[in-house]
Structure 1
């Protein structure tokens, strides 16, 4: 008989504005559906959306892919609302996403601490909340960590780290944490040729992520201020999560030379991401921290070669395997890499994408990872 796993996450399909955690959960469901029965408890709307998803039944179970999904209305996302649905639902494992999630992690854990939930195995994955994410609202976050330790809010649960980097971050914050480490599961990878030709003197670059300080778009723009040769397109896609930060980015854009064309293209649903990546040579993503980075993997899968920051993602070994990974402190290296990419022609670009394909095929081997999930869930 299959174990029943109840996943709690602030957003789920068809949402996309909540970023990587949505895809992490959806990929886990689709990859492990033969081994587990999945149920998902989530909000009735996308991140910061003012209205519910269309064509769903609110406060009822809906079949979505290989899971049953319960979309909670906002007025139902109370302690009593969670107590009712969690105690009425039959599950063996409670799988929580996001350490700082105020509704879909903290409220269930409060109920558990108060003895208001039936006993079950509880797994928590921070979803990158510790990886480069504590500088924003630093005092508030460290105060919360101190208080939750004081009352034992996170005691006697199992932590799921999706990289060695994230496991280290968990152990720094919670010394006695019981952890297991297994990567997020990817979508199915089908190797394909690069769709875009590369002419010397031209470079198409893209940034796809939330407009938010942690994703470090402003840094990317500051690097592009220093690129004086070639014809460069730099398109930006993603939800406008922090408008004050975007204003800082716009101020940098004003100082970018005329040979670099910067355009904000708005939000895109996840279903379009493969098509978007196919239109660019390079994914410039100098993030401050990713526990996994689905968008990085999706860029690789579509031969849009990532240019990444070093030491803050699980992909440091990608350097020299098609794309590039550099220290954020070494701005000159980023400038030199971009200048070299501008100069190369189609043959050299195909050589890089061939290395990228070998790397992705080797790294995205989820059969062993699936076994680890089966052991730990």
Structure 2
């Protein structure tokens, strides 16, 4: 959130250290991410990083380097470009325009002011990750350890998209990462397996403590008459598999309403989806309702009977947890780390997640009475909270401090 940030009047590093109360003994982390708040188009990784920074122990000092604009946007955030902004006493964010030499000069001066204990890069392919790791490899920055969080980029579904380019890049990049002795963060046992399938030599830290415990119960579920209300929230890209969700809705035999929220990240893929929408049968109403700011995600989920999400792969799946926390059961593929949780909270994991298989599940849901749908929503919210209360892991960067020794 923008109001979480307090602008520093100067990028003089001595002034920054004095102002924030940092000490030489603190564990210093420089993190990189292609997009962060106030952006929201990047989805779950933004919310993961926010939670990590919000729950830092007092002895950690973190600077997050990110782009000065949202994913796919040509306009920088007003007043943030090239600035180092304080979130609190333990973390700050530097908003970088990669094409502005002055920004790089300011950033380098800040980063090199003191040794970096840990370089934490989010993504393998991101320009920020590549530049940061090369800087460490060339000893342009003093770095004690490097931790890479691929954020689902090594899942089979992700690697299948533009696969030739990715395989070529990994053929060159993986040996350098191995030589540097980088460590890896997986958000789940599923992602750990995916990392090891590509990097058999990898040392992997598994930590999925990247979502807050909901402060309030899910909104009360009230029975409603009328068609089954379905929602899709996510980036419109091949990985999220919206086209299959639309084909499933088209294959139902009962009245269905399906609302879609998310940025059209891939224009060609969105054109394919629009063709399916144009051929939708009369009993299925489909609406595209645009992008959804992070603050509106959970209230939006609360208005629907189910979240239809046949994703090709999620390393974590924030949006699944947000749906459950809002009392919205999930209809999903088996390509996430939360299959057991989805089933336990009243949703359905469809194996394989074909359009026909999903259509059959949707018809069964549509046949439920209004009272049964409301009961399913209440169950989802209650069981999710019970699960989350028993999920205890340390802050990711505190875990990394121990793991990367």
The separation in 1 between residues aligned to 2:26 and 2:104, in whole angstroms, is 29
Is 1:179 matched up with 2:204? yes
Query: CA 1:113 to 1:153, structure 2 compared with 1: closer, same or farther past 3 Å?
Result: farther
In structure 2, the residue matched to 1:353 is: 377
1:218-249 C-alpha deviation (Å, 9 max, x unpaired):
0000011111222x221111111111111111
Q: Report if the CA contact (8 A) 2:221-2:375 is conserved.
A: no
In structure 2, the residue matched to 1:155 is: 180
The 10-residue stretch of structure 1 (84-93 or 208-217) with the greater mean CA deviation from structure 2: 84-93
Equivalent positions of 1:273-288 (< 5 A) are 273-288=297-312
The separation in 2 between residues aligned to 1:33 and 1:273, in whole angstroms, is 28
1:35-74 C-alpha deviation (Å, 9 max, x unpaired):
5232211111111211111243x32311235621111123
Q: Report if the CA contact (8 A) 1:203-1:233 is conserved.
A: yes
In structure 2, the residue matched to 1:205 is: 230
* Runs (5+) with no aligned partner, structure 2: 1-24
In structure 1, the residue matched to 2:54 is: 30
In structure 2, the residue matched to 1:95 is: 120
TM-score norm. by structure 2 comes to 0.85
1:260-284 C-alpha deviation (Å, 9 max, x unpaired):
1111111121111122112211111
The separation in 2 between residues aligned to 1:336 and 1:201, in whole angstroms, is 19
1:292-349 C-alpha deviation (Å, 9 max, x unpaired):
0111110111011111101x10011022431111123554432222112112223322
Is 1:60 matched up with 2:88? no
1:146-195 C-alpha deviation (Å, 9 max, x unpaired):
11134446631110100111101111111111111011421231352444
Equivalent positions of 1:277-316 (< 5 A) are 277-310=301-334, 312-316=335-339
1:329-374 C-alpha deviation (Å, 9 max, x unpaired):
5544322221121122233224323432343123324762126753
Q: Report if the CA contact (8 A) 1:196-1:280 is conserved.
A: no
Q: Report if the CA contact (8 A) 1:200-1:343 is conserved.
A: no
Question: Offset at 1:23?
Answer: 0.8
In structure 1, the residue matched to 2:18 is: none
Q: Report if the CA contact (8 A) 1:211-1:240 is conserved.
A: yes
Q: Report if the CA contact (8 A) 1:208-1:295 is conserved.
A: yes
Equivalent positions of 1:337-348 (< 5 A) are 337-348=361-372
SS in 2 for 1:147: helix
* Runs (5+) with no aligned partner, structure 1: none
Is 1:166 matched up with 2:191? yes
The separation in 1 between residues aligned to 2:102 and 2:129, in whole angstroms, is 12
The 10-residue stretch of structure 1 (73-82 or 202-211) with the greater mean CA deviation from structure 2: 73-82
Q: Report if the CA contact (8 A) 2:52-2:395 is conserved.
A: no
1:110-138 C-alpha deviation (Å, 9 max, x unpaired):
12222222132211100110122111110
The separation in 1 between residues aligned to 2:347 and 2:361, in whole angstroms, is 10
Question: Offset at 1:10?
Answer: 1.0
Query: CA 1:89 to 1:253, structure 2 compared with 1: closer, same or farther past 3 Å?
Result: farther
The separation in 2 between residues aligned to 1:34 and 1:359, in whole angstroms, is 32
The 10-residue stretch of structure 1 (197-206 or 284-293) with the greater mean CA deviation from structure 2: 197-206
TM-score norm. by structure 1 comes to 0.91
In structure 1, the residue matched to 2:283 is: 259
- Given candidates 119, 144, 150, the residue that maps to 1:120 is 144
In structure 1, the residue matched to 2:294 is: 270
Q: Report the RMSD for the aligned CA atoms in angstroms.
A: 2.4
The separation in 1 between residues aligned to 2:390 and 2:184, in whole angstroms, is 20
In structure 1, the residue matched to 2:10 is: none
Is 1:321 matched up with 2:345? yes
SS in 2 for 1:271: helix
In structure 2, the residue matched to 1:369 is: 393
The separation in 1 between residues aligned to 2:261 and 2:371, in whole angstroms, is 28
